Structure 1
Amino acid sequence: MKKMIIHGGRKLTGEVVIGGAKNSTVALIPAAILSESVVTLDGVPHIKDVYNLMDILSAMNVHSNFNEATDTLTLDPTEIEFKPLPNGKIKSLRASYYFMGALLGRFGHAIVGLPGGDDIGPRPIDQHIKGFESLGASVSNEHGAMFITAPEEGLHGARIFLDMVSVGATINLILAAVTATGQTSIENAAKEPEIIDLATYLNNMGAKIRGAGTDTIRIDGVAHLYAKNPHTIIPDRIEAGTYLAMAGACGDGVNVKNIISEHLDAYLAKLEEIGVQMDVGEDNIFVYPSGNLQAVQIKTSPYPGFATDLQQPITPLLLKAAGDGIVIDTIYPKRVRHIPELIRMGADISLENDVIILHHVDRLQGAEVTADEIRAGACLMTAGLMAEGKTTISKVDNILRGYDRVVYKLKKLGADVEMIDD
């Protein structure tokens, strides 16, 4: 594991270019195994999850090459071999469960270990299982791995109503249904931009998916998929939101580039309510130096609401605001592992029945803190940049799972930051 050392107090200035969306990339890579030809992805972020997924694919004889100079990933699934994926790298990232749907769609069966990733509270996969069973598959949990098998005649289309909106279940069921016989409808589906990105990618391969971005997605199964290259990944709205909050908290004029602002409507509305001054361009947002900031209440909800992944990155900004800020995470109410770390840095925060209450503080003090998951780590980076003195963040590998070339980008903005081996 590595550590990040931040000497705070410097104002950030200049520009930062946002990478491809992590939450798209980790679905698009497993989806590549559905193609019967070579797949090329552009705009791939330099994050650990990409390399972990490449390792998982290698175990199935899927050859990959990541050209870091051009952000291009080439995947060749033409000689893929079915392999159980019970442990190892599967435990390193939550999105490994997309291999359930992808393997089921490609081979008619899958053996995949229960996913790992961030510990942010319960994230059950019961909706995934319910959907697979509706498509005709049998599902069992044996020794910590999911065994999923289609009937002899293959998967069949079905009407699936998700009991709760789930991005993971929506994506997994698309991957399984895209080659099933007949029509599948997924109702109460998630609407995230990353789902539209996946549907666009699959449709360009020859899939027949309609309604992505709405609450009902209809899929007419096809027998074969062939990649139409390249597919350019959408910008990462969570990375963008992180740098926007960072610019509001300690920026002296920061231009955040490669943004689709419509993906951030709810978030931008809150930044404006707080008092962050911005110019929103066609594909960039310029953040002016902050003036008077006012506390607000934030309540996360499924897209197009305020994203759960952005409640932690915006927290340090709220500490600068006058009054008491409130954060209620309705998606993952136990997503509070950043709170004790911020308190170590002098933050005045209380937690009452999963409601986070943030009281204004004049300054934060550098400290030794731990990034227990990706977005908590993003929060601590911003806090470290705001703080007086030296902040040491351990378990930085968690940050590197989700943030593209983060040290390079922070240094380019003028931050005093370095990575060291623990």
Structure 2
Amino acid sequence: MDSINVTGGRALEGTIPIAGAKNACLTLMPATLLSEEPLTLTNAPRLSDIRTMSRLLASLGAEVSPLSDGLVLAMSSHALNGDRADYEIVRKMRASILVLGPLLARLGHAVVSLPGGCAIGARPVDLHLRALEAMGAKLDLRDGYVHAKAPAGGLRGGDVEFPLVSVGATENALMAATLARGTTRLRNAAQEPEIVDLARCLRAMGAQIAGEGTSEIEVQGVDRLHGATHRVVTDRIELGTYMLAPLIAGGEVTLGGGRRDLLEAFCERIEAAGAEVRQDATGLTVRRANGALRAVDVATEPFPGFPTDLQAQMMALLCTAEGKSVLEERIFENRFMHAPELVRMGACIDVQGGQATVTGVERLRGAPVMATDLRASVSLILAGLAAEGETTVSRVYHLDRGYEHVVAKLRGVGARIERVRAND
């Protein structure tokens, strides 16, 4: 099993290019199921989750061809030959559930396994199912699969009121509604940039959508969607992760293609901790403003709040900030599994339920640590940049799901980091 070795103590200087968003691309790819015509995505990230989604779409009869250096995905669903998303593929990634809405809208029926993914707490699909039921779908859960059927004549428009904000459920409902008869209104909808990106892609395919980026989205169903070419939005989670690197290690780094509007709440918190963030035409440049970092409190919330996917990385930063910080996780339970690993490196962290209190220490110490999920993986790497001595992060297969070329990108700005292959 591969591991990553990090030797801390070196300030970072230079530019890190930010990739297209994993979460956006994983949502955009199932949109190909809505049309017989080709959908081409540019600025696609090169990640294992993208390969998993490609295999899932191929199992349904779609054609997915990575072009050039892998940044372009050409897809076509002109010859779908299946409606069943099998457990063997779906279990590897929660985003697989996003084929349910498109299959149901296009074919009128679908059988999709309940998904797997990172062990960061329960992320039930009931909100997805409620939304599809509001459009007339009949659903039956048995043997670990969702058996879904649209009424005669296809899905119909409906009013969907989400009791909780759910990005995935909003995405599934939005795709299904594009081909439903009549008008669908999604209330208490997620407002994330990935939702806006999906709506723009669907509109380029001929969908009639209004209100994306707000809590209410209205979709007027159309008879068919056509092909399109769409550029995947910048990955705001990769952006935020690398923004923390020069704050943790020292130095100044420019994040190529970065946009503050994707992470306003995050930027406000790191500035309160002592960061300087500058925006120009090339991206965002980040450095410490003056001396030591200061403790700040953080609470994760749906967009436009502080992203849950940056909570672990922020904790790594606050481990050496002066004072006591409180991090409250309001999105997922069990998302402090990285805390014990940071404690192994000398951090002072007390976890009580959904709240972690971090008391800053003068310096972290390198240690062997184990990644428990995707974002925990990179939080430990960031901590290693600040630690005295060498940190070895094991189980880094999680990392490949969400960060492309993390070693090369950090090494390119001066970090002492290497990946050790299992057979080396």
Give the TM-score normalised by structure 2: 0.96
Aligned partners of 1:61, 1:130: CA distance in 2, in Å? 27
1:31 maps onto 2:40 in alignment = no
Q: Tell me the equivalent position of 2:322.
A: 322
Question: Partner residue of 1:390?
Answer: 390
Match of 1:268 in 2: 267
**CA apart distance, 1:316:** 1.5
Report how far residue 343 of structure 1 moved: 0.8
- Amino acid of the residue matched to residue 179 of structure 2? T
Structure 2 unmatched ranges of 5 or more = none
Aligned partner letter, 2:360: H
- 1:18-417 to 2 correspondences below 5 Å: 18-67=18-67, 69=69, 71-229=71-229, 231-289=230-288, 291-417=291-417
The 3-state SS of whatever aligns with 2:275 is coil
- TM-superposed CA distance for 1:70, in Å, is 5.9
Indicate the larger mover: 281-290 or 102-111: 281-290
After the TM superposition, list the runs of 4 or more consecutive aligned residues in structure 1 that deviate by more than 4 angstroms. none
Looking at structure 2, the residues matched to 209 and 370 of structure 1 have their Cα atoms a distance apart, in angstroms, of 44
Distance, in Å, in 2 between the alignment partners of 1:388 and 1:33 is: 50
CA contact (8 A) 1:47 1:405 kept: no
Q: Which runs of 5+ in 1 are unaligned?
A: none
The alpha carbon displacement at 1:86 in A equals 2.3
- In structure 1, what is the Cα distance between the partners aligned to 2:99 and 2:282? 33
**Other structure's SS at 2:203 match:** helix
Distance 1:94 1:68, change over 3 A: farther
Name the CA distance, whole Å, in 2 between partners of 1:136 and 1:346: 55
Contact conserved, 1:313 with 1:376, CA < 8 A, in 2?
A: yes
Distance (whole Å) between structure 2 residues aligned to residue 68 and residue 341 of structure 1: 39
1:68-94, Cα deviation, whole Å (9 max, x unpaired): 526111112112212411211211111
Structure 2 counterpart of 1:324, one-letter code: K
What residue identity is the alignment partner of 1:233? V
d(CA) in 1 for partners of 2:276, 2:392: 30
User: 2:131 touches 2:173 (CA, 8 Å); kept in 1?
Assistant: yes
The whole-number CA distance in structure 2 between the counterparts of 1:146 and 1:46 is 30
Structure 1 contact 11–251 (Cα < 8 Å) conserved: yes
TM-score (norm: length of structure 1): 0.97
CA deviation string 1:349-370 (max 9, x = no partner): 1012321000111111222212
SS in 2 for 1:311: helix
Q: State the 1:334 CA deviation.
A: 2.4
Residues 4-25 of structure 1, C-alpha deviations (whole Å, 9 max, x = no match): 2222222221100100011101
| Partner Cα distance (2:282, 2:188) in 1 | 30
Q: Which amino acid aligns with 1:134?
A: A
Q: Kindly indicate whether the alpha-carbon contact (under 8 Å) linking 1:46 and 1:68 is maintained by their aligned counterparts in 2.
A: no
Equivalents in 1 of 2:336, 2:159: separation in Å?
Answer: 36
Cα distance in 2 for partners of 1:27, 1:283 equals 27
Q: Distance in 1 between matches of 2:107 and 2:394?
A: 41
Residue 177 of structure 1, CA deviation = 1.2
- What is the letter of the counterpart of residue 96 of structure 1? S
Residues 161-205 of structure 1: per-residue CA shift (max 9 Å, x gap): 001111111001011111011110010101111001000000000
Aligned to 2:4: 4
**What CA distance in whole angstroms lies between the structure 2 residues aligned with 1:285 and 1:51?**
29
1:304 Cα deviation (Å)? 0.6
In 2, distance between residues paired with 1:173 and 1:353? 32
Letter in 2 for 1:238: I
What secondary structure does 1:292 align onto? coil
- Measure the CA separation in 2 of the matches of 1:113 and 1:247: 42
Secondary structure in structure 2 of the residue aligned to 1:320? coil
Tell me how far apart the structure 1 counterparts of residues 196 and 216 of structure 2 sit (CA, whole Å).
12
User: For residue 40 of structure 1, what is the amino acid of its counterpart?
Assistant: T
- The worse-fitting range, judged by mean Cα deviation, of 388-397 and 193-202 is 388-397
Give the C-alpha shift of residue 283 in structure 1.
4.7
| Counterparts of 1:251 and 1:178, CA distance in 2 | 48
Instruction: Encode CA deviations 1:9-45: one digit per residue, 9 max, x unaligned.
Output: 2222110010001110110011111122111111111
Q: Deviations over 1:134-178 (max 9, x none)?
A: 111111111111111111221110011001111111001011111
Counterpart residue identity of residue 406, structure 2: V
Measure, in 1, the Cα distance between the counterparts of 2:213 and 2:278: 27
Could you say if the C-alpha distance between residues 289 and 273 of structure 1 is closer, same or farther in structure 2, counting changes exceeding 3 Å?
Answer: closer
